[in-house]
Copies of this chain bind each other. A is one copy, B any other.
Amino acid sequence: MKTKQIRLAERPVGMPNEDNFKWTEEDLRAPDTGEVVLKSLYISVDPYMRGRMNDQKSYVEPYGLDEVISGGVIAQVHQSNSTELEEGDFVIGNLGWATYQIAHEDALRKIDPSQAPITTHLGVIGMPGITAYFGLLDIGKPEPGETVVISGAAGAVGTVVGQIAKIAGARVVGIAGSDEKLAYLKDELKFDAVVNYKTDDLFESLKQACPDGVDVYFDNVGGEVSDAVLRLINKGARIPVCGQISLYNLKKPDLGIRVQPNLLVNSAMMKGFIVSDYGAHFQDAVTDLAKWLQEGRLQYKETVVEGFEKIPEAFIGLFKGENIGKYIVKVAEPSN
């Protein structure tokens, strides 16, 4: 059988574009013992993948040139040579951007479609949700009544951070880049205040939104948005650095205001992290997130585009702020 794949044709310089990708078609070999043939259903596009497209050490190994791009994928077992998985099972794994592929049972986690919609395993109870959980609760440690500010607040991680911060009793302020996003955060997710970094006078708006200063700043974007938030931090503030999406496509080193004098004067703490730092404790997060989801305390939204050929476009769209919540490409219908 044939499979289509998307490979890294060249490393993007600055903003990625369609020419950075190439399409291939191959015959799929038969699965060995323990392996399955998978049909991709939902492919996740995530900002961290941009870093893997550069040829430099980052927190995840770079993609090789001509390599099939990989990331979070939900797939269905199409043919099984495994004793653990059978045809029709839904699985999630770090898999290729391919319509079909072979994978070993050990690299897959079976998911139960009756527990929650399967796409939530890419979002609210998946990697972005787990990222939000540990970054906020292990590093940010919000206390009741404290002010938590989130940049990239309408994204897959930010939306979960804000809701967990509300569960923790904090006052939540979200920064995002469109009125539609702000309305979603305020009306649906019940954020206490929202700020549009594109149209508002950012510092003045933040100051109004945070009359008691900022105790936790969950940073997904970096750059000048962070400069503005950091001017408002309180003594003892905690700053989980989860992403720097505003910088991923920069061609030069990022120059700005050094944070050290500010951290010094405020005895503040800033810590970078990646979800895999918490690998040993994932189940704690998933248990809590799934419970909050079932109880209706955690809402989620997905931006879904359809078609395997749309993956690069969706990926590029991440950096244009196209998505609210988790950005997913649906590449095939599940089979019964």
Contacts and interface: CB of A to CB of B under 8 A. Distances in A.
Interface of A: 51, 57-59, 219, 222-223, 226, 241-244, 247, 253-274, 277
A133 B274 CA distance: 30
Contacts of A254: 257-258, 260-261
* 3 nearest CB pairs, A to B: A263-B272, A264-B272, A269-B271
B277 A267 contact: yes
A245 to B, nearest CB: 11
Nearest to A259: B259
A248 B236 CA distance: 21
This chain: how many copies in the complex? 2
A218 B210 CA distance: 32
A271 B261 contact: no
A54 to B, nearest CB: 11
Given A255-B255, A256-B255, A247 B272 contact: no
Given A255-B255, A255-B256, A256-B255, A267 B274 contact: yes
Nearest to A48: B264
Given A266-B272, A269-B272, 13 more contacts: A59-B267, A222-B261, A241-B260, A241-B263, A254-B257, A254-B260, A255-B257, A256-B256, A260-B270, A262-B272, A264-B272, A268-B271, A270-B270
A259 B272 CA distance: 10
Given A255-B255, A270-B271, A271-B270, A226 B260 contact: yes
B222 A258 contact: yes
